Structure 1
């Protein structure tokens, strides 16, 4: 297994290379507009995550406060179906990141696994699902601490 300093150096090299690719791609107008559209999309996803988390926290709080805990199942099922179906529908419109491109770098298995884990954790469906789950958890705990 590689030492932490080697893994850190490998990750730093991948990040620097990705940053150089981004900066070099900004030479054309098309890529600059693409960056602007991605920034606007990121703001929309951030708003959906925070706003949806807040809305689900309020709904979970109200359901828990009224004592009708069986209604929480509807929220959990809706979240489950979103988390399963959104990546399928979004893959038709998204440019998927090809992680096989990382194979050209001399990464150890642990570093490669960490990079793949980060790519998965930063996926839109994962970020939204986690923020909405956190909102539900906060709503339930704030309504009744005994349920935590």
Structure 2
């Protein structure tokens, strides 16, 4: 009886493993390859709040959020200009939960692109390169 249970459990495990592979669409595979290169960006900026009754304003902190992609193992990250525009501080969170302060290297408002830099304690995983030669409409 015990042998039957072990064999049955083993077969069920194999079937689940095969089923999992079948369910891995090209999108799921792409996300699995890229997920360690995608980061969360938290920003903070000071905004002036206007008091409509008396015309006086007070400064207040405003939080922002965005994403970025690691493009160099030394900590260079591409994001959008609107994510970093006018911020006082940037904090990057990696897939593994580690966080780093970041600084702005360059940005282009008209293209809505920016490069920020963190100083990681290890080499980072870079987004795997793709090609545009085999893309289909909508990919």
TM-score category (smaller protein): under 0.3
Query: Comparing both chains, which one has the higher relative contact order based on Cα–Cα distances under 8 Å and sequence gaps of 6 or more?
Result: 1
Q: Max radius of gyration: which structure? A: 2
Choose between structure 1 and 2: higher strand proportion: 2
Give the TM-score normalised by the residue count of structure 2.
0.22
Give the TM-score normalised by the residue count of structure 1.
0.21
Choose between structure 1 and 2: higher helix proportion: 1
